[in-house]
Amino acid sequence: MRGLTREHLVDIVAKFEPCPENLQHMVLGIDGFTNYMRSPAGDIFNPEHNQVNQDMTQPLTNYFIATSHNTYLTGDQLLSQSRVEMYAYVLQAGCRCVEVDCWDGPDGEPIIHHGYTLTSKILFKDVVETINKYAFTKSPYPVILSIENHCTVPQQKKMAEYLKEVLQDKLDLTNVSGHECKKLPSPELLKGKILVKGKKLPANLGPDAEEGDVSDEDTGNEEEDDSDDSDNDLQDGNGAESTNQPKKKRRFGRSIIRSFKRKRKKKIRMKNKTMSDGESDHNSSRERAQIVYHPKKRKTMRLSRALSDLVKYTKSVRVHEIETQGFLSSWQVSSLNETVVNQILQLKPAELVRFNQRQLLRVYPSNFRVDSSNFNPQPYWNTGCHMAAFNPMMEDPLPGHKKTQLMLKIISGQQLPKPKDSMFGDRGEIIDPFVEVEIIGLPVDCSKQQTRVVDDNGFNPMWEETLVFSIQMPHIALVRFQVWDHDPIGRDFIGQRTVAFTSMMPDFSGVHLEKDG
């Protein structure tokens, strides 16, 4: 081992060497070395990385932010329960951006739930109190409160009142100065602060105006991304809303029908586009390169001055064109559906990287994920998307960039468990283990290699094999170790461990397996 002090090495020998003679000579025997490798001290993960070890003094746009989507939901997106406790859960797990979908509630009290569904409702005030209690129990760095605002002005004023009363100095940003050229402040400067992400009144509105209209260009709500056909669905032939069934059930049914209407229309448009042969090659290419960031339908809403004034560095704005947006100010956040971002990744990946250098971008799950499943965030992280929102339940891409070589020598295993669902597990069969190592990161970096199979030895299998990987972007790469039991009809999972490349210790290390795959 390199870079260790003599005092540290003496401490290792004293802790793990059982032989008195070896202790006298300050050396590790085979038993002492085995004890060390199987202890937390010999783990592959760098213990210094259990604490924040990155430079936290750069603008907020230089960081990935742990983000949750529809934070309040305990299950699926249509019928599940909303719980205040979900905010405590995600914040204690390290989440730094939580979402609140706010609607008018009874008795003038704003509520939170997933609109136009049968999910249950919770009070906005209770959620704010929970956020205040748990925001900084796990991390001192800022929390972003992402507000999806569907409330009328009187209840917006109530929201602002609760935010100021409960969060108090956590909202006070007077001592936080942004960088020149309207760049965002750093996580270090924002320690202990809560940033309200929401809409903001236009700058040209008079300072005495208590409320004003927010145009479609100023909005960033997910609900509005799905309203293409809302006029036809919300009105009958006379333009009046039908009263044949309860309003809630009508909206719920329409929301489902609209989703599948949009999907069907999209397929029809794609089919017609494929069959069309009257356009020139130039026009066809240009048409394919167009990205629809949001529906073209314009909407306005009334916004309270009290709520607007709580938004400073995280103003919600729509994406109109990634090539030009964000040059004048970084004090804004945009949200895009995963489907749109996948389109951008195909057509304008370099422009997306540059866009993410200028302002914050949040990617949220497709509305077709009604089961609250989650996307693979790695492609979005690869292009610098800051906030990949989770439901709480090639040519060289970098010309001239020097590659990093990872050389792993897989030596042996110790006391490997039998597979959890092994067919003969209860009858005491001996496993035939092998190790698979996977690199997860840029597409060009993603690869897998495995060792040979060691027959009939789960106690101390010996592989003594070297696996070599070439990695373009080690700073975003993950290294996954998986151990499998080989059998003639397939393989059974034994355990895995995933470690960030930059958190791996050099030289001899132990990999402590986890049972979850």
Catalytic residue numbers, as ranges: 69, 113
Residue pair 90/98 in contact (Cβ under 8 Å)? The answer is yes
Q: In what order do the strands lie in the sheet with 433-440?
A: 447-450, 433-440, 478-487, 490-500
The DSSP letter of residue 514 is B
Residue pair 338/363 in contact (Cβ under 8 Å)? The answer is yes
Single-letter residue type at 210: E
What is d(CA 137, CA 159) in angstroms, rounded to the nearest whole number?
24
Backbone angles phi, psi at 255, to 5 degrees: -60, -40
Residues with Cβ within 8 Å of 135's Cβ and at least 6 positions away in sequence, in order, are 91, 143, 170, 194
The DSSP letter of residue 198 is B
What is d(CA 200, CA 211) in angstroms, rounded to the nearest whole number?
10
What is d(CA 60, CA 140) in angstroms, rounded to the nearest whole number?
14
Token pair 């704005």 is found at 317
* Count of CB atoms situated within 10 Å of the CB of 59: 17
Residue pair 96/67 in contact (Cβ under 8 Å)? The answer is yes
What six digits make up the tokens of 187? 């996580």
What is d(CA 43, CA 513) in angstroms, rounded to the nearest whole number?
10
What is d(CA 352, CA 358) in angstroms, rounded to the nearest whole number?
10
Residues with Cβ within 8 Å of 204's Cβ and at least 6 positions away in sequence, in order, are none
Single-letter residue type at 264: R
What is d(CA 97, CA 142) in angstroms, rounded to the nearest whole number?
9
Residue 71: how many CA atoms within 13 Å on its side-chain side?
Answer: 32
Residue pair 437/481 in contact (Cβ under 8 Å)? The answer is yes
CA quadruple 318, 319, 320, 323: dihedral, nearest 10: 150
Buried/exposed code over 21-41 (b: 16+ C-beta within 10 A; e: otherwise): ebeeeeebbeebbbbbbeeee
Helix extents (H) in 276-314:
281-288, 305-308
